[in-house]
Structure 1
Amino acid sequence: MPSSNFVDYVKIFGRSGKGGPGSRHFRREKFIEFGGPDGGDGGNGGSIVLRGNSQYWTLIHLKYKRHIFGEDGEAGSGARCSGKNGTDVVINVPLGTVARDAETGEIVCEVTEDGQEAVLLKGGRGGLGNWHFKTATNQAPRYAQPGEDCVEGWFILELKVLADVGLVGFPNAGKSTLLAAVSAAKPKIANYAFTTLEPNLGIVECRDHKSFVMADIPGIIEGAHTGKGLGTRFLRHIERNSILLFMIPADTKDVREEYRILLNELEQYNPELLDKQRLLAITKSDLLDEELQEAIAADLPDIPSIFISSVSGYHIRQLKDMLWEALQRDNQ
């Protein structure tokens, strides 16, 4: 089975450039007996910078390039000439990338906008040349500053998919089928668990040429926050969704209990996820008659809900309107 091109987790080693040393040069010219110090400053070392690029959607370009080094600054020279600065290394990353210190787990920076730049490792400053240290009592300093040393470390880059609406549900809840029905996305659809092994994004068009981004997150199972099933690998993608659309099939034995399990998994992973707007879609509703639909509706959780069928198109337009209105409330 070929490996997926979707890579949302990489560990890299970075080292910024050293600062160049300042020069201890003295002016030496014909007919000038005591020229004095004229050593230039050293150049700054190159930094390692993350830059958001909306054309990237995965971290696969970093999977086989784990070691990244900045360029050292050049030494200063005579006539107060400064050394050349080391070139920064710019790493393009998809929007939603989070950089963490591999040892402490602390967040170093986050990149969420196209063109945004964040310094992962700052290059060392160049040293001052000896002419900076000339004084009335020390007119011939024979010393200069060395450049600052480089900074290095291991970092973990994680991608959290940016989307307006995230689909949350157990495997085979109909998430991929809905995404395919409302957008041009072509997720894999099959009648077995964990068909979706990576997040899929689709642009959903609604009335008056308005649109929003929907993300199909791989299925959650009970105990996912402890590593069961696909574990916590994809739970982090839900953190960047504005609205969570819970999807539960109409043939589920207990809709309220399944919703409780899903909600508990999100809470155990990150309690802040409960602050997001939540909507509920009862999928595969073309299997229900009016009497069954009314019976299920009487015992639904206390959140906005709708019965839909992605195959027949039942209430799909109404669902898109609900999501758009919820997004407007979220932006207020």
Structure 2
Amino acid sequence: MKFIDEAIIRVQAGKGGDGCASFRREKFIPKGGPDGGDGGRGGSVYAVADRNINTLIDYRYQRLHKAQNGEPGRGSDQYGASGADIVLRMPVGTVITDLNTGELVADLTEDGQRALLAKGGQGGLGNLHFKSSTNRAPRQFTRGEPGQERQLKLELKVLADVGLLGLPNSGKSTFIRAVSAARPKVADYPFTTLHPNLGVVRVDMKRSFVIADIPGLIEGAAQGHGLGHQFLRHLQRTRLLLHIVDLAPCDPNVDPARDARAIVEELRKYDAALYAKPRWLVLNKIDLIPQHERQARIDAFLQAFGWEGPWFAIAAISGEGCDQVIHAVAEYLERERAASTSA
């Protein structure tokens, strides 16, 4: 299935039914008085988060979602039936905003969460409501109110604890295959990842976390170059970023430190909050470096990059060093959850 994480739709709630102006006409009951019923309420449009859905593809091709109108009132004090509501099932992590005003309508972060997108119109009043001691034969009634109509932008931001960041072919997909059951495409050419992949990392029987892999970034991504800029929003909900760096590039003219700085700069240009997230370095492909040269290569990179934060050296293809990374991540996430709970 094609992965779609953005869509624009139009939702239209149902119109309320009109009230009725009617008078009781029954044998042996002269001057029976008004008996016009109210119109029914128009149907509303709701969104509900469903963990079994992982893409917005249905809304890319079906753009108009219209609820049922309420029925008009009838004589004999009969009220019109309300219009049926419609419920739009969306992936957990969908952010819904009004396209015209930019107002946040809903942020679906939990399975089963329900949000009102467009409210149905109220039904009109029948002439039954207008009778009084001085107005015994009212002919007044009110029309039903129109339903709310709005254009909405849907954005899916996947819910993951950890996000992977790095250049194309740095080994992000290989890493997520090594530590989880996810099986993204892996090949010896860049841009093999074309959409985000999620993997559940099982640290032990009681601990697990979700990791997200997005298409690789290139310099100029914040201005729209490459693919990764389209998916940077999926890292905005993460608690920790792992910056995967290819420490043994095939091209001897490539400078890993310069490329790593370029990726960090793209983060800063795209979103200051994303740039400020905790970030760890994961130096990949150390298996391609002779054993006696590894530490010197790592030290040279860290000095050139000016990095003083946490770092790990791994070989994702063989799994070397990956256990150390996931255990450190699990402990970090536990501390973060405990701190947020106590606060």
Q: Which TM-score tier does this pair reach, normalised by the shorter chain? A: over 0.9
The alpha-carbon deviation at position 275 of structure 1 amounts to: 3.7
Distance 1:94 1:319 in 2: 29
Whole-angstrom distance in 2 between the partners of 1:233 and 1:217: 9
> Once the two structures are superposed, what CA deviation does each residue of 1:199-223 show, in whole Å capped at 9, x if it has no partner?
0111101034411111111111111
Residue of structure 2 equivalent to 1:271: 272
Contact 1:203 1:212 in 2 (8 A): yes
> CA-to-partner distance for each residue in 1:106-140, whole Å, 9 max, x for gaps?
33222121111111111111112222222333232
Name whichever of 50-59 and 203-212 sits farther off: 203-212
2:22 equivalent among 25, 32, 44: 25
Contact 2:245–2:282 (CA under 8 A) maintained in structure 1? yes
Query: When the two structures are superposed, what TM-score results if normalisation uses the length of structure 2?
Result: 0.90
CA distance in 1, matches of 2:9, 2:202: 38
| Alignment partners' CA distance in 2, 1:44 and 1:297 | 66
Instruction: Determine if the alignment matches structure 1 residue 144 to structure 2 residue 141.
Output: yes
> In structure 1, how many angstroms separate the alpha carbons of the residues matched to 2:131 and 2:239?
60
Aligned to 1:322: 328
62-71 vs 133-142, which moves further: 133-142
Q: After TM superposition, give the deviation of residue 231 of structure 1 in Å.
A: 5.7
Tell me if the contact between 2:14 and 2:70 (Cα under 8 Å) persists in the aligned partners: yes
2:109 paired residue number: 112
When structure 1 is superposed on structure 2, of 267-276 and 99-108 the one drifting more is: 99-108
Pairing 1:211–2:205 present:
no
Deviation at residue 176 of structure 1 after TM alignment: 0.2
- Could you tell me which residue of structure 2 aligns to residue 283 of structure 1? 284
**8 Å CA contact retained: 1:18, 1:72:** yes
Determine the C-alpha separation between the residues in 1 that align with 2:135 and 2:311: 81
Determine the structure 2 residue equivalent to 1:234.
231
Q: Give the deviation of 1:21 after TM superposition.
A: 0.8
Letter in 2 for 1:329: R
Aligned mates of 1:17, 1:140 — CA distance in 2: 31
Q: Separation in 2 of the partners of 1:274 and 1:329?
A: 21
Q: Please say if residues 256 and 301 of structure 1, whose CA atoms lie closer than 8 Å, have aligned partners that are also in contact.
A: no
Residue in 1 aligned with 2:311? 305
Q: Does 1:83 align with 2:75?
A: no
Deviation at 1:254, TM superposition (A): 4.8
Q: Do the aligned partners of residues 139 and 206 (structure 1) sit closer, same or farther apart at CA in structure 2, a change above 3 Å counting?
A: same
Range with greater deviation from structure 2 (155-164 or 30-39):
30-39
Q: 2:329 is matched by which residue type in structure 1?
A: L
Letter in 2 for 1:114: D
Cα gap change, 1:213 to 1:26, in 2 (>3 Å): same
Per-residue deviation, residues 52-108 of structure 1 (Å, max 9, x unmatched): 110000112223212221110001122332211111111111111122223334332
Give 1:256 shift: 4.6
Q: How much does 1:298 deviate?
A: 4.6
Identical amino acids, percent of aligned pairs: 47
User: How far apart are 1:255 and its partner, in Å?
Assistant: 4.8
Q: Is the 8 A contact 2:217 2:229 kept in 1?
A: no
| Partner Cα separation in structure 2 for residue 281 and residue 120 of structure 1 | 42
Instruction: Indicate yes or no: 2:36 matched with 1:39.
Output: yes
CA contact (8 A) 1:22 1:129 kept: yes
Partner of 2:273: helix, strand, or coil?
A: helix
- Report the counterpart of residue 155 of structure 1 in structure 2: 152
Q: Match of 1:18, SS?
A: coil
Stretch moving more, 245-254 or 36-45: 245-254
In the other structure, the counterpart of 1:258 is 259
> What is the deviation of 1:34?
2.4
In 2, the alpha carbon distance for the partners of 1:298 and 1:222 equals 22
Change (3 A) 1:310 1:247: same
Residue 313 of structure 1, CA deviation: 1.8
1:101 aligns with 2:131: no
Q: Distance in 2 between matches of 1:245 and 1:292?
A: 20
Following superposition, the deviation at residue 274 of structure 1 comes to: 3.0
| Paired residue secondary structure (1:17) | coil
Name structure 1 gaps, 5 residues minimum: none
Mapped partners of 1:20, 1:12: distance in 2: 25
Aligned match of 2:65: 68
SS of 1:131's partner is helix
In 2, the alpha carbon distance for the partners of 1:264 and 1:82 equals 63
CA distance in 1, matches of 2:23, 2:272: 65
> CA–CA distance in 2 between the matches of 1:302 and 1:266?
19
